[in-house]
Amino acid sequence: MTLPPDSPHLFFLDREYHLVGVLPRSYFVVLKLNRVPHQFVFDFPDHPWFRDLFGLRKSAYVRIRVDNSNEDWDLHLKPSLDSSNLFGYIYKRSNLQRIVVEQQRALLHSRRLPLVFDLDDTLVRVVANNDGRYVPEKEAAKVPHRVRELEDGRKIVLGERVHEFLEWAHHHYEISVCSLGDPSYVKMVVKILDPTQTWIKGILYSARQEYNHHAQQSSRHRPPKDLLALYAYCTLTPEEYQYSMLAPTDRVPFYGGALGASSPPARATSMHLPLVVDDMPQMWATDQHDNVISVRDRRGQGVWDVALYPMVYNVLSFVHTEFFRRLDIHQANPREFNNAPSALAIYKEYLRGMLRDQIGS
């Protein structure tokens, strides 16, 4: 069994454990990216709660008692892909929170913000002679320069200038994808959208499993998409968020408990950074609707298209420029600890200003 290098020599095995909390999938991604191996394999419990945990692609954790240590150590329980086992990962909570904070800090140091794109009816639309949200073959034939064939033989129509848009956006945003399509579909479409694999460098996330799980349960109206599943730093406390904004020369060392790491990792949500471009905001968790730049197809413009220029381009340009202008000011005045910028707040400011200008005209 491989334990973390800073682990104590002795863990106490109790007769029973009480679940402390549930974690979004993004926390497992953090463990995976940091090559934290699992130390235990348990039989999957035949219980509705654990089946729900599997269906929502979440994990749980319990507290572990350790010898001669006042720090919190947890056992992270993740369902296997076939729901036959639970994998157990031991970690020190303060270490995990430090990694999450540094993950956000590294992103900001690169002068990028997180941006999530939906696929279908936002960047592409499938070609088919079916009822529903498809591009008929006769219509697709009118725009051959926008038609691409997927590896499985299906065809899609790209939004006008989508490659140009993604090439621009990747300089300012870390681009991720979240789609209701299955994982293979997501990968095929992304290969078309980013043929050089240089623009979409973030997370490729299929929320199909969550969608199917809700459809089979009484929770069928619950939204399947969740920013917490993509970004662990959306769980940061206000203090940790402020801390991550400080310039490296101004920050004190991160000691975990000093910034709230003694509380459960998924204790609160902080949606200050990510923005989403999607034609269906209702697919996202209710408290994340404000993060969505809602788009729609051009009505009366012939073949399906979503106008990324000029509106989406303008808002993303404004948010990025204004965010890092304020961040530079904030880091130059570290005593103003509570005034860290928020991409979400800046987006709302942009919308208010646009409405004001329209009223004034």
**Which spans in the chain are helix H?**
25-33, 48-55, 93-109, 137-140, 162-169, 183-193, 208-216, 227-230, 238-245, 313-332, 343-360
Q: Does residue 131 fall inside a structural domain?
A: yes
Which pTM was predicted?
0.90
Place of tokens 């300089």: 171
The amino acid at residue 243 is: Y
- Report if residue 3 sits inside a domain: no
Residue at 250 is within a domain: no
Percent of the chain clearing pLDDT 70 (strictly above): 89
* Strands 275-278 and 40-43, sheet pairing: unpaired
Question: Amino acid identity of 240?
Answer: E
Same structural domain for residues 70 and 124? no
Residues 168 and 291 grouped into a single domain? yes
Choosing from 26, 60, 92, the residue where a domain stops is 92
For helices 183-193 and 162-169, give the axis angle rounded to 10 degrees: 90
Same domain, 129 and 189: yes
Are the C-beta atoms of 77 and 42 separated by less than 8 Å? Answer: yes
Average pLDDT, the chain: 88
Q: What is the pLDDT of residue 4?
A: 63
The segments of the chain whose pLDDT lies below 50 read 254-268
Q: What is the pLDDT of residue 249?
A: 59
Same domain, yes or no: 78 and 192: no
Residue 355: domain span: 110-235+274-360
Same domain, 78 and 196: no
Q: Are strands 85-92 and 173-179 parallel, antiparallel or unpaired?
A: unpaired
pLDDT tens figures, 72-129: 889 999 999 999 999 999 888 888 888 998 999 999 999 999 999 999 999 999 999 9
Residue at 9: amino acid letter? H
212-240 pLDDT per residue, tens: 999 888 766 789 999 999 999 998 877 77
Same-domain status, 200 and 288:
yes
Domain of residue 134, CATH code = 3.40.50.1000
Assess contact for 313 and 144: CB atoms under 8 A. no
Nearest to 61 by CA among 342, 352, 264: 264
Percent of the chain with pLDDT over 90: 65
DSSP label at 57?
A: T
**What is the pLDDT at residue 123?**
98
Q: Are residues 33 and 174 in the same domain?
A: no
In the beta sheet, which residues pair with residue 42? 86
